[in-house]
Amino acid sequence: MTATPDAATGLAPLDFRPAPGSARRSRMLGAQTRMELSLNLRHGESVLLTLIIPIGLLLFFSAVDVLPSDGQKSVDFLVPGVLALAVMSAAFTGQAIATGFERRYGVLKRLGATPLPRWVLLTGKTLAVLAIEVVQALLLVGVGLALGWHPHLPGTAAGIGWLAVLLVLGTTAFSGLGLLMAGTLRAEATLAAANGVYLLLLLIGGVVFPLSKLPGWLRVVAEGLPTAALSNGLRDVLANAAAPGVGPVLVLACWAVGSVALAARTFRWE
Range of the domain at 91: 26-266
- pLDDT tens digit sequence for 128-187: 888 888 889 999 999 999 988 888 776 677 788 899 999 999 998 998 899 899 888 888
pLDDT of residue 40: 77
Q: What is the pTM of this model?
A: 0.82
Q: Is residue 89 domain-resident?
A: yes
Q: Is residue 7 domain-resident?
A: no
The average pLDDT across 44-70 equals 78
Q: Is residue 137 domain-resident?
A: yes
Most confident of the ranges 5-9, 125-129, 182-186, 220-224? 220-224
The average pLDDT across 90-118 equals 80
CB 105 within 8 A of CB 198: no
Q: Is residue 82 domain-resident?
A: yes
Asked whether the predicted pLDDT for residue 70 surpasses 60, the reply is: no
Alpha-carbon Rg for the chain, nearest whole angstrom, is 23
pLDDT of residue 143: 93
Total Cβ atoms within 10 A of residue 187:
18
Q: Is residue 3 domain-resident?
A: no
pLDDT of residue 10: 58
End-to-end alpha carbon distance in the chain:
42
3-state helix, strand, coil in the chain (%, to 5): 70, 0, 30
Nearest 5 degrees, angle CA 137-CA 219-CA 221? 85
Q: Is residue 18 domain-resident?
A: no
Q: Is residue 21 domain-resident?
A: no
Give me the DSSP letters along 126-172.
HHHHHHHHHHHHHHHHHHHHHTT-----SSHHHHHHHHHHHHHHHHH
Asked whether the predicted pLDDT for residue 262 surpasses 60, the reply is: yes
Q: Mean of the per-residue pLDDT values for the chain? A: 83
CB 227 within 8 A of CB 84: yes
Comparing 264 with 193, which gets the higher pLDDT? 193
The average pLDDT across 75-88 equals 91
> What is the pLDDT confidence band of residue 42, given thresholds at 50, 70 and 90?
confident
> What is the pLDDT confidence band of residue 66, given thresholds at 50, 70 and 90?
low
How many structural domains comprise the chain?
1
The average pLDDT across 94-120 equals 79
Distance between CA 86 and CA 133 in Å, rounded? Answer: 7
